[in-house]
Amino acid sequence: MRPTPARLLREGSLVVDFTDVHKVTKVEYPLPQQLVTVRLTNQMTGYPSSCDLRWDQLITTEDPLEIEIGLTGTVRVELARLADNKNPTVYRWRVTDEGVDYQGTDIHLRVGQRADNEKAMGALLSFLGTGGEAYRATMGDRKSDNADMFPPDINEWAYQHSEEISMAHLRLSGGLER
């Protein structure tokens, strides 16, 4: 997370406010070099809001992390809520590719653990690997306890891209040079 002047906020930026995280949906400059009007959507609830900020006011922001998988696929994680003393840090995630578009808000880091995009991405890649293995198991008429982690089309996608997912996970954990 880093401080960013309000004048540099762009659509898609993530704004962190205590434990809440909002995605910027629109930025307007009604009084250039004085005022920035920002329209936001809460990452957890989806509720819209807006605020007027001074042009030079510093706002805490966070960038999403996106990894390409295969020729056209992407896996993305972005902060949804910061941890407090009772709730863990939560991440939104999205898998997109030709014919595949699935998202969720259920990647949790431990209670009290700092926000860490790489750890959240590592968890998602691990889950996708498990989903791919579950798909492979069900192809052979076996049952898998993990077959319901994702919808069948995501498990199939993960199976088809299992090597790329494994390599991305290895690269992310520092096992291969970036």
CATH class of the domain whose range is 2-62: mainly beta
The pTM assigned to this predicted structure is 0.87
The ranges assigned to domains in the chain are 2-62, 65-172
- Which of 4, 80, 82, 76 lies closest to 42 in space, CA to CA? 80
pLDDT at 64: 94
Average pLDDT, the chain: 90
Tokens of 163: 């090597």
Residue pLDDT, tens place only, 40-54: 999 999 999 999 999
Residue pLDDT, tens place only, 117-130: 999 999 999 999 99
Residue pLDDT, tens place only, 128-154: 999 999 898 888 777 777 778 889 999
Residue pLDDT, tens place only, 18-35: 889 999 999 998 887 899
